[in-house]
Amino acid sequence: MPNPNSLAIGGFTHPSSAACAPEPMAGTWENVDTNTRGITVVNYIWECNDVILCPVGELCLNPPRTRIRVFGSCHPTDCDWGESVIQFHPDGNWRYARYDQGFAKRMVWLRMETNGQLTVVEDVDYQDHRTDRVTWYR
């Protein structure tokens, strides 16, 4: 016979959500220049993570996982450069990711403008005889 003083609770709960601030850069950004020979799409991937219990019994934060996937102009379909982890510049405005494609090492810089547009800067260090270049996409 159940104890009348005990309480049983059952059922399902909704998944918990983490307390992270919204990320305005999150989403897919397309170059407004449809004839570009450079970067065509930047997919900014932002995942908020929950507070977790550390091994010593203290709460600690699992930082958000932020990365980008870049596509460059190729024919007949755009080239997928793959994903790269985002780093945050100390000035607080710029973020960047590194790509090592063998023939070229690239830094892709990102900054959100006050008008809601994303500025992308591609800094290319060619590993062969070609001249290095910096290209701004606005």
Q: What is the pLDDT of residue 11?
A: 35
Q: Which residues contact 83 (CB under 8 A, 6 or more apart)?
A: 45, 67, 68, 69
Q: What is the pLDDT of residue 71?
A: 98
Instruction: Give pLDDT tens digits for 86-100.
Output: 999 988 899 999 999
Residue spans of the domains in the chain: they are 27-137
Instruction: Give pLDDT tens digits for 3-58.
Output: 444 333 333 333 444 556 778 899 999 999 999 999 999 999 988 766 555 666 66
Q: How far apart are the first and last CA of the chain?
A: 72
Q: What is the pLDDT of residue 16?
A: 45
Q: What is the pLDDT of residue 50?
A: 61
8 A C-beta contact, residue 81 and residue 65: no
pLDDT > 50? residue 1? no
Q: What is the pLDDT of residue 24?
A: 87
